[in-house]
Homo-oligomer: A and B are copies of this chain.
Amino acid sequence: MTLTRENCAALDARDPLAPLRGQFALDQVDRAGIIYLDGNSLGVLPKTAIARIREVVEREWGVGLIRSWNAAGWIDLSQRIGDKIAPLIGAGPGEVMVADSTSVNVFKALHAALAINPPSPRASAAQARTRILSERINFPTDLYIAETLARDRGLELVLVDRDALESHLDDRVAILMLTHANYQTGHLHDMEAVTSAAHRAGAVTIWDLAHSAGAVPVDLTTAGADFAVGCGYKYLNGGPGAAAFIWANPSHIARLDRDGFRQPLSGWLGHAAPFAFTPDYQPAPGMARFICGTPPVLSMAALECGVDTVLAAGDRGGMTAIREKSLALTDLFMTLLEDRCARVFTIVTPRDHKQRGSQVSIAFAEDLPSVAQGAMGDGYAIMQALIARGVIGDFRPPAILRFGFTPLYTRFVDVWDAVDRLADVMQANEWRDPKFSVRAAVT
């Protein structure tokens, strides 16, 4: 049986999350016929953010001025938004702080992890626990931060393929740093199993939740994870460049407290008494020490609205319902793609639900031989042609076309229409128009 657009419309009609699409300012996007499948790169605008940011700008900043640090609660934003993110990732109150960028939080988490699992040489040099282990295709910024830290601290960043991770978990590894759902392939790690394997090897884990927070149920506590960071502007819909978050296992927080741990970015808002203005640093108790400088209040306000859009699913099944719809959307996309573009594309993202985040990555099959030899594929031009047809995904070199599915606003008919237009682009060879090969700054 071939699926029809009507089948998809029927799925939307009985989707319990469908009403939540009304939270987003998509009127103009819809009128323009745009299908947005890039919420894994930048989530769409919550309607509440429009009024909220106006309020922050015009009333809190404009009229309240400096008084708004207290009166409007700016000073609590890092904790308050952190506490809202916490239930989405299996964390408790006070365990999540929103601050800085993901990159900066990876840096803090690496330092904290090294404090918990110090890489001091042991009996012999061969036994020294001096490795940071990660995936070769982990998101580059995580790798870049770890690479420089490894150089500066005399450690070794070891990058391997996913399949080789477990065999590399030995007593040389201090930290296993992974992104829960891979940005490129959409491959999802089994957080609990991988964390257990890491612990058996004596390593601590840092999980980057950039592509899972708000999209995939995450339970850091049950998984026994050690540290986590995550991004505010993808599935949390926090707006461009929204601040990121950082979490540590409560047992580690207690130990960091006991040891008086200070992370290297020991700025004034992570001080135990920031407004005492004492010349010497005293870390704030608990996770607040991971705050550094003054947070970007306007961007923080947007992030809070974004997180609220995910929390709004709470009485409709919450993350479980989001996950169920996410899998249905990605299943549908794969099925339709095989119906309509059989053999044109290779589906890179695993079919197995347990191994999949909320995106589908595909590669243009003709690209693969040349890409294997180091060339850049035609996937870029295909994505540009598809965007010209109003379907927005993105391209990740050398060969990946990425499509992100945010269950809060992506409809089943959107999936149908997206594949329909992709099939047209391919059948009509639209993507061969040379204009689609011209690269923009951001791809």
Q: Which residues of B contact A41 (CB under 8 A)?
A: 66
Q: Name the B residues within 8 Å of A277 (CB-CB).
A: 140, 184, 396-397
Interface pairs (16), CB distance under 8 Å:
A29-B65, A45-B57, A68-B240, A100-B293, A101-B294, A107-B265, A138-B279, A140-B274, A144-B271, A159-B279, A241-B294, A241-B295, A241-B296, A244-B293, A276-B397, A277-B397
> Which of these binds chain B: A10-18, A297-305, A328-336, A367-375?
A297-305
Q: Is A148 interfacial (CB 8 A cutoff)? A: yes
When the two chains form their complex, are residues B441 and A67 in contact, meaning their CB atoms are under 8 A apart? no
A75 touches B (CB below 8 Å)? yes
Chain B residues near A143: list those with CB within 8 A.
279-281
Measured between beta carbons, the chain B residues less than 8 angstroms from A107 are 264-265
B-chain residues with CB within 8 Å of residue A151 when the two chains form the complex: 262
Q: Who on chain B is nearest to A24 by CB? A: B62
Residues of B within 8 A of A156 (CB): none
Q: Mark A378-397, 1 if CB is under 8 A from B, else 0.
A: 00000000010000101011
- 10 closest A-B pairs by beta carbon, nearest first, are A101-B293, A103-B267, A296-B299, A103-B293, A141-B268, A240-B297, A144-B281, A45-B62, A69-B442, A296-B296
Q: Does A311 contact B (CB under 8 A)?
A: no
What is the 8 Å Cβ interface bit string for chain A, positions 262-289, against chain B (1 contact, 0 not)?
Answer: 1111111001001111111100000000
Q: How far is the CB of A240 from chain B (nearest CB, A)?
A: 4
Residue of B at shortest CB range from A442?
Answer: B69
Measured CA separation A264–B63 after assembly (Å): 39
Known A68-B240, A240-B74, A302-B298: A62·B25 in contact at CB below 8 Å: yes
Known: A50-B58, A144-B280, A148-B281. 10 other contacts (CB 8 A): A25-B58, A28-B63, A29-B63, A42-B61, A45-B61, A67-B387, A107-B265, A241-B298, A275-B442, A299-B299
- Which of A151, A296, A392 has the most B CB atoms < 10 Å from its CB? A296
Q: Which of A50, A159, A292, A294 has the most CB of B within 10 A?
A: A294
Cα A300 to Cα B241 with chains together (Å): 10
Chain B residue contacts of A102, Cβ below 8 A: 293-294
Contact A141 B267 (CB under 8 A): yes
With a cutoff of 8 Å between Cβ atoms, the chain B residues found around residue A104 in the complex are 100, 104, 265, 267, 292-293
A49 at interface by CB-CB < 8 Å: yes
Which chain A residues numbered 153 to 196 have a C-beta less than 8 Å away from chain B? 159, 184
Q: With an 8 A cutoff between CB atoms, is A38 at the interface?
A: yes
Whether A243 is near chain B, meaning CB under 8 Å from some CB there, is yes
A82 to chain B, nearest CB (A): 16
Asked whether A36 is an interface residue with its Cβ less than 8 Å from the other chain, the reply is: yes
Question: With a CB–CB cut-off of 8 A, which chain B residues contact A1?
Answer: none
In the bound complex, residues from chain B placing their C-beta under 8 Å from that of A184 are 277
Q: Is A123 an interface residue (CB 8 A)?
A: no
